[in-house]
Chains A and B, each alone.
Chain A
Amino acid sequence: MDRMKQNLHQASKASYQDYFGKSISLFCASLVGMLVVAILYFVMTRGLATFTQNHISLRSFLLGQTWNPTQIGANGQPEVGALPMIVTSLAVTLLAALLATPFAVGVALFVTEIAPRRGGQLLQPMIELLVGIPSVVYGFIGLSALVPLMRHLFGGTGFGILTGTLVLFVMVLPTITSLASDSLRAVPLDYHSAALALGATRWQMLYKVVLRAALPGILTAVIFGMARAFGEALAVQMVIGNAVLMPKGWLTPTSTLTSQLTTGIGNTTLGTLPNNVLWSLALILLVMSLFFNSLVRFIGRRGRMQK
């Protein structure tokens, strides 16, 4: 009787096992969560040091046009204007996304709607392979093939926004294409049939029904592509010219946030102003990545509500 009572009141072996498993997996999950908090915390404290310790005004950092952290500028403060890099980063990102979106949507439509069998079998694996090509390889091709070509065609050095945009265009194309095809595939078949039954041509069906239904997904794909382009470092660094100057044309050497980070961080010592401002650049990257992320979430919510 006692043993029975004991058995009934004690947790079983199975529930101990479950307790063990749950705590282990929760431990791993919370570790990942803590890691993200740690990254945000460290990059933020480092990035804000420019403003709290070195007393640089946010205005002169974001809107200043000369970048020379070791020199004292006219206003008595070090010259840490990040505007040229911010402009270049935004420019290459937007241009690459603008250029890539029609191609990506075209290919996605081809793969999912026009020639699902032929297109799917041939293009799909190729696009998947392209997503996996390392960014240095894109950078190397840009440097060894695209830069001389640009120099030959347009003169100048061949480095600059145009070359950077073209390299990023090829890099984000597979990303946007594969995400856009996923969202096109998710459009219910009924929509197609309904449009065709009303006498729509294929293009009318695609344009008026399918593309509209898939719009939130396509927008998400474009934003993912932009996030990738904005954060891309080495491929851009190799073809952009790396001179922190306001871009004056399509092919003048300039610098993005990421390229300045990769070139600069090894040449500065931790805790000094030239190093702190680089962390501020990293902070801008972080904030932009959070911005892209919330944009995706926002579109996701809006897209769901419409259904």
Chain B
Amino acid sequence: MSRKTTDRLATGTIYAFVGVVVAILCGLIGYILITGIPDISWHFLTSAATAFTAGGGIRDQLFNSLYLLLLTLVISFPFALGCGIYLSEYAPQNWVTGLLRMAIEVLSSLPSVVVGLFGYLIFVIRFNLGFSILAGALALTFFNLPILTRSIEEALQDVPNLQREAGVSLGLSNWRTITKIVLPIALPGILTGIIISAGRVFGEAAALIYTSGQSAPTVDYGNWNFLSADSFLNPMRPAETLAVHIWKVNTEGITPDAVAISAGASAVLIVIILIFNVGARFLGQRLYQHLTASKSK
């Protein structure tokens, strides 16, 4: 076989592979949207889930997912920021730093079930939090920390060293330079990192089954006292999220319209994650323009 023929054959094979993958991708996204979108209605989004009868909605699950996401970000962002700043700005090149980087890598590659089980053991049982939003948020924090830390570190690394030198030569301390000069420049990158990790947290279920629980008790959306038991803000109540709900209705098999519910809920999940992805790009660019007064990146 001449080398020209091999070249053509190989190119053809690659095109065929790409064709198959594109077909899978389109089939997948098409399947979710086509089976899911017809099930989404105002009623579906705003009514409570029912276990044994058809026609249940996802109101509580949707709220729980968003609330859990918010709590997770509130807990994990400060630590990830501190850790990212340390690794990017302060960490000396020695074996301790190497060990820390390795620890973060290990944490990011741990299966989420293991992280969930650890959260279950520590928070649900040892600290006696029970199945609660707080326990779920803490477990998700473990899951989220390495991703967030890495994207913050990368965003900080992208800031040119000239900016740091300029700050220090004006007599600012390193810390002032970091908080007043480096961080604002890195902010769009950090924000993108937060939103991308938010997408992952939003769809996570395995770490939540045994930490935030599999039940969504009825809550009172008018009760703003987060200490009262039926308040929607109470962090100590069990809270089934959207992703856990999809898993549960499918594996338990007692809800008659499980397929319709999970199709609708999947489509809602995908659409929200899509919004996160697009939003991350848009917001990052806008913020960059705003903060640096430049027309475009």
Contact = CB atoms under 8 A, between A and B. Distances in A.
Interface in B193-222: 196, 199-200, 202-206, 209-210
A144 B203 contact: no
Interface string B91-106: 1000000011011111
B291 interface: no
Given A134-B269, A289-B110, A25 B203 contact: no
User: Secondary structure at chain B's binding surface: helix, strand, loop or mixed?
Assistant: helix
B203 A282 contact: no
Contact of B247 (A136, A282, A297): A136
B209 A106 contact: no
Which of A46, A123, A141, A173: most chain B Cβ within 10 A? Answer: A141
A12 to B, nearest CB: 8
A17 B13 contact: no
Contacts of A63: none
A39 B113 CA distance: 12
Contact of B121 (A42, A203, A297): A42
Interface in B269-292: 269-270, 273-274, 276-277
B54 interface: no
Q: How large is the interface on B (under 10, 10 to 19, 20 to 34, 35 or more residues)?
A: 35 or more
A167 B209 CA distance: 21
Interface stretch (B39-47, B158-166, B229-237, B258-266): B258-266
A28 B78 CA distance: 8
Given A26-B90, A32-B79, A42-B122, A137 B270 contact: yes
B224 interface: no
A265 B120 contact: yes
Given A201-B4, A265-B210, A293-B105, A237 B251 contact: yes
Interface in A30-78: 30-33, 35-40, 42-43, 46
Contacts of A123: 18, 22
Interface in A177-210: 177, 201-204, 206-207
23 contacts: A14-B171, A18-B174, A21-B174, A25-B82, A26-B86, A28-B83, A32-B146, A107-B21, A110-B15, A114-B11, A126-B29, A132-B199, A132-B203, A136-B246, A137-B266, A139-B250, A170-B28, A203-B3, A203-B10, A231-B110, A232-B111, A261-B113, A261-B117
Given A106-B17, A144-B262, 20 more contacts: A14-B172, A17-B173, A17-B175, A20-B175, A25-B86, A26-B90, A29-B82, A29-B100, A39-B142, A103-B17, A107-B21, A135-B205, A140-B263, A201-B4, A230-B111, A234-B247, A262-B113, A266-B210, A285-B113, A289-B110
